[in-house]
Amino acid sequence: MRAVIEATGLRVQDGPSTALSFTVPAGEVHALLGRAGAGKTALLETAAGLRRPLSGTVRVKGLDPYADRDGLRLGSVWREGGLFPGLTVAETVDSWRRWTLDPLTRADALRLTGLTARASTPFERLDAGERRLLDLTLALVNRSDVLFLDDPVAGLDAGTIHRIWTTLRALADAGTAVLLTTRHPAEAALADRTRTVDDAPHPHTGARAA
């Protein structure tokens, strides 16, 4: 299967001392597993094109995501999430769509993350899990087929974690390449593959979520 994300000899500021190499094919979920402070977020930001690597290379669909970001359809969900006071879910998605070339329809974006029934709900009335799902919805508006997620289920209840993983698995099954970070081995085991972020960079194969 072709590699969508390919890192070779990658080292980043505030990251692990050992260079990492990994690939993420289309249709798979890969996890970067490591303790707090191991440099997972820095690696994810570099793979997403938000910072330059100290050494090594990252390619997304054959392009340098830092230098050629405009040529890629990337989606990302970061740990702090977005804040959209005064807007409903539908209004938030519509606002995002206005800044996006050839966006998904609002209905399609909400359907992908299971938020259709919450379209008229004000942002302030969403629980933590629904806010994370809204962040994911916005990441998909530009028809992203490559997703970067930083600790996407941290602090969420078991039911919401299941919803998010069900959504990620459905996206992967439709061909999306997903790279996420986590500090929890049980969560990493849901991914197709796991790269441990420490001084002993050995890839581990996870089990597919049921």
Q: What is the pLDDT of residues 18-63, one digit of tens each?
A: 889 999 999 999 999 999 888 999 999 999 999 999 999 999 999 9
The Cα 190–Cα 46 span in angstroms is 23
pLDDT band at 2 (very low <50, low <70, confident <90, very high): confident
CA 185, distance to chain mean position in Å, is 17
Mean pLDDT value across the chain: 90
Q: Please report the domains of the chain, with CATH numbers, ordered by start residue.
A: 1-73+146-210 (3.40.50.300), 75-144 (no CATH)
**How does residue 79 score in pLDDT terms, banded at 50, 70 and 90?**
confident
* 63 secondary structure, DSSP code: B
Q: What is the dihedral of CA 110, 112, 115, 119, to 10 degrees?
A: 10
Q: What is the pTM of this model?
A: 0.89
37 token code pair: 């402070």
Residue 64 · residue 58 · CB < 8 Å: yes
CA-based angle 194:196:198, to the nearest 5? 170
What tens digit of pLDDT does each residue of 160-206 get?
899 999 999 999 999 999 999 999 999 999 999 999 997 544 444 45
CA distance 46 to 161: 26
According to DSSP, the residues that pair with 77 across neighbouring strands are 149
Residue 208 clears pLDDT 50, i.e. is over it? no
64 has pLDDT over 90: yes
| Model pLDDT for residues 90-101, shown as the tens digit of each residue | 999 999 999 998
Tell me whether strands 29-33 and 177-182 are parallel, antiparallel or unpaired.
Answer: parallel
Distance separating alpha carbons of residues 122 and 61, to the nearest angstrom: 37
